[in-house]
Amino acid sequence: MKQTILVTGGAGYIGSHTCVELLASGYDIVVVDNFSNSKPAVLDRVGQISGQEFPWYEIDVRDRAALARVFGKHRFSGVLHCAGVKSIAEAQRDPLKYYQHNLEASLTLLEEMAERGLKRLVFSSSATVYGECTQIPYREESPLKPNTVYGRSKMVVEDVLHDLASADESWRIAILRYFNPVGAHPSGLIGEDPNGTPNNLMPYICQVAVGKQAELAIFGHDYPTPDGTGVRDYLHVADLAEGHVRALDYLGRETGLVTFNLGTGRGYSVLEVVRAFEHASGRAIPFRYAPRRSGDLASYYADTSRAANTLDWRAKRSLGEMCADAWRWQSKNPGGYA
């Protein structure tokens, strides 16, 4: 019997790539999404890549009655909770929205799961929960001092999950702390399609490459890093998607709560990413140096040993592949899914 997994936010960037990987790994899926930052067309593409159809519902996870109807129609053996709002800048301007959306969605989902006796959950968290940590690489036990509202909204949900797992040992929970997911499915059919001007490096570079943006502003070149630009742990979204499936498999065997960093374990600077993208795309990426972006840290990357030892998961794809796949997606879909 195939297991059916509910994917919240399944039309989003991470969710859609994870849906492809779940289907390829023999799971059935049901997607819920409110399409606030994604489009239903994404799900057609997931179906096209996978050669499989699956049910999806346009609902907001905070709508308990709608969620209950979905739970009433299907028999789930686990949930991947990817739904959430994720702009660091918007969260600083509108903290209530971020606590409201990210907390209430998680609480509503957990209440529904608890009531149904479904206690297997993979939660999308972020390396941003570490904040200004003195020890690099970040380990899962590193202290959490998020320096943004967005980071705190994720940390609070992590706290809720810890309390839940302490109160009831039958929960099976994996918290995944993503570093910097980039790239796209190698088919070029799905990828990252941000609303408006991109906030993040790779989608911005992609839009410069297709002429939608004139030049990249590199935020800061006086950081204490080898070339002065910020260093991050970029990982291919397909590797990240595989990490979700490994975590879900693991929760089929084990109870309790466990947290995993998902990254490559090595950092690249903004300039290294620009050069790698130019090489992969054959396009020049004009840039200028701009002041540091508020809240940015100089350099961080993951200690990935726990995911390697416990899940037998390692990010395999290189920075060159991340850039080539991001470019394939952007050049085939210059206007995104529109």
Shortest reach from residue 115's CB to ligand UFG, in Å: 31
Residue number with CB closer to ligand UFG (6 or 38): 38
When asked if residue 240 is in the footprint of ligand UFG (CB under 6 A), the reply is no
What is the distance between the alpha carbons of residues 130 and 42, in angstroms, rounded to a whole number? 31
What is the distance between the alpha carbons of residues 57 and 39, in angstroms, rounded to a whole number? 12
Residues in the chain: 338
13, amino acid identity: Y
When asked if residue 327 is in the footprint of ligand UFG (CB under 6 A), the reply is no
Shortest reach from residue 207's CB to ligand UFG, in Å: 10
Shortest reach from residue 178's CB to ligand UFG, in Å: 6
List 14, 122, 127, 206, residue binding ligand UFG (CB under 6 A)? 127
List 219, 249, 272, 310, residue binding ligand UFG (CB under 6 A)? 219
List 37, 124, 126, 281, residue binding ligand UFG (CB under 6 A)? 126
Q: Is the peptide bond before 224 cis (omega within 30 degrees of 0)?
A: no
Residue number with CB closer to ligand UFG (179 or 313): 179
When asked if residue 217 is in the footprint of ligand UFG (CB under 6 A), the reply is yes
- Among the listed ranges 12-20, 34-42, 122-130, 159-167, the one in contact with ligand UFG (CB under 6 A) is 122-130
Alpha-carbon distances of 271 from 99, 189, 268, 282, 289, rounded to whole Å: 34, 27, 8, 16, 11
Which ranges of the chain would DSSP assign to H, the alpha helix? 13-24, 41-50, 64-73, 88-93, 95-116, 149-167, 201-209, 237-253, 270-281, 305-306, 319-332
Residue number with CB closer to ligand UFG (82 or 201): 201
Residue number with CB closer to ligand UFG (204 or 277): 204
* Token couple for 237: 């979204």
CB 173 within 8 Å of CB 121: yes
What is the distance between the alpha carbons of residues 262 and 182, in angstroms, rounded to a whole number? 13
CA nearest to 255, candidates 160, 120, 115: 120
Catalytic residue among 150, 250, 268, 301: 150
For the question of residue 27 being annotated catalytic, the response is no
Shortest reach from residue 322's CB to ligand UFG, in Å: 12
CA 330 to chain centre: 19
When asked if residue 296 is in the footprint of ligand UFG (CB under 6 A), the reply is yes
Shortest reach from residue 94's CB to ligand UFG, in Å: 15
Query: Catalytic residue numbers?
Result: 150
Query: Where do contacts with ligand UFG occur on this chain (CB under 6 A)?
Result: 86, 88, 126-128, 179-180, 199-201, 204, 216-219, 230, 232, 270, 293, 296
